[in-house]
Amino acid sequence: MRGLLMKDFYLMAGQKRFFIIVFAIAALFIITGQNETFIVGYVTMLCGIFAVTTIHYDEFNKGNIFLFTLPFQRKQYALEKYLFGIIAGGTAWIVSFAVVMIFRYGREKMDVREWGVSMLTYLLVLLLMLAVMIPIELKFGAEKGKLATFVLFFVVFGMFFFATNIFEEAGIDVSAMAEQMNLAKLALGAVVVTLLILAVSVSASIKIMEKKQF
């Protein structure tokens, strides 16, 4: 797996222009006083998405035919994509958070509770994004994977919108309910649910790779 990680890090190193643009835009947001939490989420998500695009690089010009002649198991390939995504996105999350904190230090008071919720949310969204996109990309490939991902997010958004309307018609204030509940319990519940979804996703990706033919 170390060799697979090195391969993907070399791919990342070859995309310097992409990351220069990403961090330049983030720096511009900071300088112009944009929402700092958005900046952290922006950098984290883009770096996480890059981990998924390495699947496309592996498939380019039928590169998988050669790649899978090397001495590693298909299970390791699937696991490596998650690990690389967590490392890339997690590092971006830590670095962007640290930079924003340094820039903001001493300028204004910070609501620690609000920031903590925002930072945890971005990290969980990163894991959910990997959990959704990696098995889809492994199953359908680059082009079909993009379409499948779009359809899935459209369906999820539609379900969320439909549920919101039902709550509104029933006179249920979801925000008020969330405020009344213990924030720590909500955070713990969100973490547990995210990890369960990630575990299911990893299992699905391993099965997809074991059955896939090149």
Q: How is 49-81 classified by DSSP, letter by letter?
A: HHHHHHHHHHHGGGHHHHHTTSS--HHHHHHHH
Q: Which of 85, 86, 76 is nearest to 4 (CA)?
A: 76
- In the 8-state DSSP scheme, what is residue 33? T
Domain count, the chain: 1
Confidence of residue 195 (pLDDT cuts 50, 70, 90): very high
Residue 83's pLDDT is 93
Cα–Cα distances (Å) from 78 to 6, 52, 68, 135, 152, in that order, read 15, 11, 12, 9, 21
Domain housing 87: 2-211
User: Model-level pTM?
Assistant: 0.78
Q: Which of 59, 71, 51, 56 is nearest to 8 (CA)?
A: 51
- Strands (E) in the chain, as ranges, are none
| Packed helices 183-211 and 112-169: angle between N→C axes, nearest 10 degrees | 80
Residue 208 has pLDDT above 80, yes or no: yes
Residue 100 has pLDDT above 60, yes or no: yes
> What does the mean pLDDT of the chain come to?
76
